[in-house]
Every structure is written in C-alpha cells, then in structure tokens.
A and B are shown apart, each in its own frame.
Chain A
Amino acid sequence: MIRRIFGCIVFAVLLLGNGASAHHNMTALFDFNDRVTVTGSLTKIDWRNPHIYLTIDVKNAKGSMENWQGEGPAPSWFRIRDVGKADFEKSIEKTLTLELSRARDKSLSGLIRTITLPDGKVISACPQNC
C-alpha cells in the first residue's frame, strides 16, 4: 500500500523514488531482477526494526548445506496484517520457502518477496518489497 499511496500522485513517485526506499536503499542492495527461491529449515529469527531477518539452512545442488538469510518488512508490517512473531517461532526447525530478490553482492541473502510457512500459508511481502 505504501507503494500505492505514493503511486496515487505521479509526481510524488518522481520525487520520492519508489516504494522500495522504505528504510535503506533497497535497490542499491538487492537486485529486483534477480529472483531466487530457497527452501530449507528455519534456524533463526531476528524480529526487530527496521527489518525482520529469517535464516534458513538450505541443501544446495551439490548436497551441501547453505545458510541463507532473508530480509523482510518491519515487525509492524506483519502485526498490522495479523501475522505475528509466534507464527515464525513455531516454525523453527520446520521447512520454510522464501522467494527473494537476491543481494547484489551475491551473498546468500536477499529481500523477501514471499514466505511459505510450513502449513502452506503464503505471506506476500508485496507491495513493500516488490
């Protein structure tokens, strides 16, 4: 909705850049044209402002484990949408899927676009992160 409200006034878009400038310069850190989907076991949650972080262990094509980190919207973004920290805490050590805009430095990290919880529930971080 943030992106939409800016979009209401064409010139506001021009002056403010775009919705991805929510906290830091998202487009400087993440490549929105390089998407990756990773599935693995949720190992860690950092549930603080300005962005939450989810860490998952993912088995790569060679069979070795990789430690991926996804950056999501602020806790209040989830809170307003009736998704809580508890939903993620109870998913620790369970399988989670993250669709990410990959970090430009090609590290094993990205900006979260969607999260699929172990029960199949999909949480879209758009429009905030899209």
Chain B
Amino acid sequence: MKKADRVALVCAAALLGVVCLAGRATGQELSAEAKEKATAEARAKRNALAFENNATTIVFFDRAGKRTGGITERAMYGETVVSPDGSRVAVVKNDLPSETADLFIIDIATGASTRLTTSARTEFVMAPVWSPDSSRIAYVTIRKGQEAIYVRPANGQGSEELLYRNPGAFMNLTDWSLDGRFLTYAISDMKGGALFTLPLDGGADRKPTEVFKTDLRVFVPKFSPDGRFLSYIQLDAANRAEVFVRPVDPKAEGGPWQVSDGTFSPGFWRRDGKELYYLARDQAVMVADVGTSPTFSFSKPRVLFRQASKVPDRLAYVTADGERFLALPAPRGPQLQQITIFNRSGEVLQKVGEPALYGGPSFSPDGSRLLVSKTDQQAGKADLWIIDLATGKQTKLTNDTFQKVNPLWSPDGKYIYYASFRNGDFPVHRRASDGTGDEELVYKYESGAFVGLSDISSDGKYLVVDSGGFIMVVPLTGDPASRKGIEFLRTEWTDTLGRLSPDGKFMAYRSDEAQVERGEIYVRPFNAATGQPGDGKWRVSKDGVNAMLHWRADGKEIFFRGQNLESNDLLVVSVELETTPTFKPGSPKVLFKLPGPLNGNLGNISRDGQRFVFAVNVPAATTTESSTPR
C-alpha cells in the first residue's frame, strides 16, 4: 500500500467516527511505516555489502605482463574503454541504491574523474566508444523505454546530442571508425544476431547498414584501422566463442576468417593495423600478426604474455598502441577454494584435496562422496566432479562448455541431476555418479526459462524445480521430453527452493512474502497424490534466510543459511521440529558462523546433520610461471 493510500484509509475511518477502527488503522500505519523503514535499511545494508564484495580497481599490464600502475578508485565498474590517445579511461560505474549506471572519464595519470551523465532511477548508460581524436564519447542509453545513441564532449563541457534512435533493442555499440565517419554495433538475441555500421554524416535521419546477419549470436564488432574490416565475436550453439574478421562491405569477397582458437574477449586491433589481440580461454593474452591489404591476412596467434597468478585479473581492454592491457582485479585478490568439512560446532573435521577453483560441494546421500564444480583454468570451463572422501579419488563427470547449475544427488546416490544453459534453454539432465554412460534428458521447461533444480523426492517420483519465483513438481514418468510440471505454489511472492521432507509429507521453501527482498522459510503439507499443497502453512525462520535449506534424514530438524546484512559471515542455523500430531517448529538457533564471503548450496549438509562442507576461500599463490614476451 502506498503512503497516500494509507493516510486516506486512516482519514476515512476517523470521519466515520469509528474510534476503535481508527486506532487499529493508525496501528497498522505505524507498523507499515516501520516495515518500510526496515526494508529500506536492509536494502542499504545489502547494497553496502555488495559494494564491499564487488567493487574493484583498474590495473594495467605491459606487453611483458608486468603491472604498470592503474586507477586506485574502487567502484563497481562496467565497461572500461581507454581513449585512443591513451590518456583517459571512459568507465561505466554501477550505482546499486539508484539502480543506475553512468559514464565517467578518469584521467589515468592523475586519477581525476569527470562525470558525464546522470541517469534517472533504473535508467542507465552503457557501451561508451571514443571518437578517434579522443575529444568525444558516444554511448547508448535506455530512457523511458527508448534505446538510443548519444554523443557528448569527453571533457564534460557541452551538451548531449542524439545520434540515433533505435526502433528495436539490444544495441551493443563497440567502436568508432578511425576516419570518424562510422559507428559499429551488434544486435543479438536468442534467435541470432547481426552487425551494423551507422554513418555519422546525414543528419538526424541516419540509417544503419546491416553488414552481416547470422543464426548465431555476434558481439563486439571493431573496425580495422583502415575501416575495411570488422573483427567480432561469434558464439556457437555450445557457448564457444571465437574472434572472426570479415569485410565491412557486405558485397566484398573473402572471409570470414576465424582468428582465435577459443576466446574469452573481443579482438582488439593495434592502431597501425598490424596486430590483433584477444584473451585465450586459458587466460593467455594472444597476439596475431595481421594485414588488411589487399585483403585480410593473419598469422597463427601466439602467446604475448600470461599473468603470473593462478587466478588472473580480468582483461577488459587493450590500448590502441598495443602497449598496455587494462584489467580488473578480483575484489579480494586472487583466491582459490579449499574444500573443508566442519562439525556442528564449526570445528574443522577434514580438508579435502588441494585448493582449486571449486564451487558447490555437496554430500552424497550416504556421506561417502562429494559432488563439486571445478573450473579448469587451462580449458576455460567448469565441470562436475565426484570426490571419494575415503580415498581422495576424483572422477570427472562432465566435459563440456555448458554452464551447469544446481547439481543434485539422486536419493539413492546413483545419479547426479543438473540444469545447464544450452543455447538459450535450461534443460535438466542426469548422469550416473560413477562417471559411466551418457547424460540423459530428464525435463525440459519453456524455452529460455531458467530452471532452478531444488529437490528429488525420496521415492524418486518427483523433481522439484522453481522458475521465475514459483515452485513446480515434475512427475518423473513417461517421455522425458514431454514431462509437464505441476504448479505447487504460484503466488505474487517470490517462492523458491522447494525441499521435500524425507517422508514426503511436507514441502519447505523460501518466500519473500513477509518482506520484499528478504526470504524466510515456510513449510506446507505436500499431497504426493496430486503434487499440490495441503492445508496449513508454518513459518520456520524469523530473521531472514539466504540458502542451504536442508532437512535432516529423520525429518526432525531443518537447517538453513541465516541472513547477515552486516557482514559476510555465513550463519548455519538449525530449527528443531515436531511433525506429530501436527507440524510445530522450534526456535531458530545459530549452530556456528564461518567468515565469508562463502557460498551455501543445497548439499552442504550431510543427511544425518552432523557434517557441513564448504569451499572456503584461500589466497591463490602466485606461480613462478613467467611471462613469455616476444
């Protein structure tokens, strides 16, 4: 209810002379105001913590891979684009409280910052590109639903000029030709993409030219210095990205040419048109000798340098002279994760294996094995692995470039179920946990819809998923491709993480019903015959919940991750339960705290509720691997 409406309600009651009703309404007013204030305070704390955890600086590397200074101001940087003269960086800074992003120019030598734009709440600026003489900046905004390209002087003086009003959406503006006559941008969605050039002469009636259209997604076109070619990234159906080059003139012969063998960045041309750079999947900075006359030619790319840390800083831009490489360091420095098992008091019971880039450790139902996600920096991808806790043996389960989310053990421990992002869809598959056999499709929801996999009933009859804030149960019968979910809970609240009790009679879940942006745990009866909730609803938590919702095997205790807006501490919280004659939760108790940031997931706790496994951050050692300059 809005404030004006609440005031109107109180006035109306008073006019009717219903004193007691007025009193109640006033009480509700105060309560609602207190609630609003609490929500605002919680949001401010969340934003402050998010800034603390994500704000970073800017650093530069030279061609030998040595750090050569940077910009020390911490911010939540979006795009970072160095001016052609190398003196300034155009940065987009995200502001969480106002949900905006705005453009700033930072002088590299002095660190002085000039604000260029000020967006209204929830509006933003993106995709800055410099004019070739470094005097102006063009950028994209969406204001009141209208996407457009504007330009303004880079010194902050003078006004904004509209260059082009896009009738559609998803404009990815990425370069300004060296002769100053054209901009280039890509537009891609799930159905494919296209590259465009936009002439800057011709006044307000500028018309873009489509250079190339494809069923695949294409991004970040950049002009060769002579303006005759575009480099760009093309993403294939397996999410593999490559740097390609093709002529700007759609009628010109030749190309496209694939320059990279796996890339994590766009291509960057040197100003003289003789070198092209990109970041390989193994994080090495690559260079290819290139030529553009009479047509495009290129050498086999070679390693220019490789950052010394096992967890490299994220390369974001290469200067026009090819001498400096802008990167954004990880906010807390390079970190790896040590898989660590704790007891109910938070004492370390076991460290498993060596530190690596781990995520989502999860106990098998019998507690003898762990499921983990492990990133292979060399291959540039993350896969699922099984670790035997007795022997330490590790078995690789998947070997692909798909982003896998919410992996879960089947109740009998024989399979691993997971959702993965594949060319715009989130199908659920399963694989045998011993690594044998191929993956099998389990469930496919609506095209493009995210599927959060949260449970499998102990009798194996239902999969529990959430999507877009509502919870479904999917009967695991019939043809997997035709399976349909049953809506268990679909409300105006954001309901997620459905977790069935071991006896299958109750569903616990997280909902923001009590307060927006704050989840609490609720339990409702589950009717296994219909997949629908029964009568009754009980709130189990009281101070906010993040994740890790888990039932003990005997159904007499629920665990979850408590919310802590003041610090990164991970709170492991327990609630004891009675389920007969009726469901009755006890009071939440903090079992132990661990220093964060630390992720929690649905498999952190052994079924007997005695062991807790986390991927604990540890500093990544700097290796002795030297750079390999030319």
Contacts and interface: CB of A to CB of B under 8 A. Distances in A.
Interface in A18-41: 18, 20-28, 32-33, 35
Contacts of B16: none
A74 B490 CA distance: 12
Contacts of B126: 4, 7
A130 to B, nearest CB: 5
Given A24-B446, A51-B468, A114 B78 contact: no
B257 interface: no
B539 to A, nearest CB: 19
A65 interface: no
Given A25-B424, A81-B122, A8 B145 contact: no
Contact of B516 (A1, A25, A48, A76): A76
Contact of A130 (B145, B191, B241): B145
Given A20-B189, A80-B517, A14 B122 contact: no
Contact of A23 (B172, B316, B449): B449
Contacts of B123: 124, 126-127
Contacts of A27: 189-191, 448
Contacts of B468: 22-23, 49-51, 74
Nearest to B516: A79
B178 interface: no
A74 B494 contact: yes
Nearest to B145: A113
A75 interface: yes
A57 interface: no
A4 B490 contact: no
Contacts of A76: 469, 493-494, 512, 516-517
Interface in A50-105: 50-51, 74-76, 79-82, 84-87, 99, 101
Interface string B165-176: 001111010000
- Chain A interface size range: 35 or more
A5 interface: yes
Contacts of B469: 49-50, 74-76
Given A10-B79, A33-B167, A130-B147, A28 B190 contact: yes
B266 interface: yes
Nearest to A22: B468
A20 B241 CA distance: 20
A101 B493 CA distance: 26
B494 A49 contact: yes
A14 B219 contact: yes
A7 B78 contact: yes
A25 B191 CA distance: 9
29 contacts: A8-B76, A10-B265, A10-B316, A14-B217, A17-B188, A20-B169, A21-B450, A23-B449, A23-B468, A24-B448, A25-B425, A25-B446, A28-B191, A28-B424, A32-B169, A48-B470, A48-B490, A49-B492, A50-B449, A50-B469, A74-B494, A86-B5, A101-B169, A122-B144, A124-B144, A126-B144, A127-B122, A127-B142, A130-B147
Interface of A: 1, 4-5, 7-11, 13-18, 20-28, 32-33, 35, 47-51, 74-76, 79-82, 84-87, 99, 101, 113-114, 122, 124-127, 130
Interface of B: 1-2, 5, 76-79, 92, 94, 99, 101, 122-124, 126, 142, 144-145, 147, 167-170, 172, 188-191, 217, 219-220, 233, 235, 239, 241, 264-266, 314, 316, 403, 421, 424-425, 446-450, 467-470, 490-495, 512, 516-517
Given A13-B219, A75-B469, A84-B2, 18 more contacts: A17-B448, A23-B446, A23-B449, A24-B449, A25-B425, A27-B189, A32-B168, A32-B169, A32-B189, A33-B167, A76-B517, A79-B516, A85-B492, A86-B5, A99-B145, A126-B145, A127-B122, A127-B142
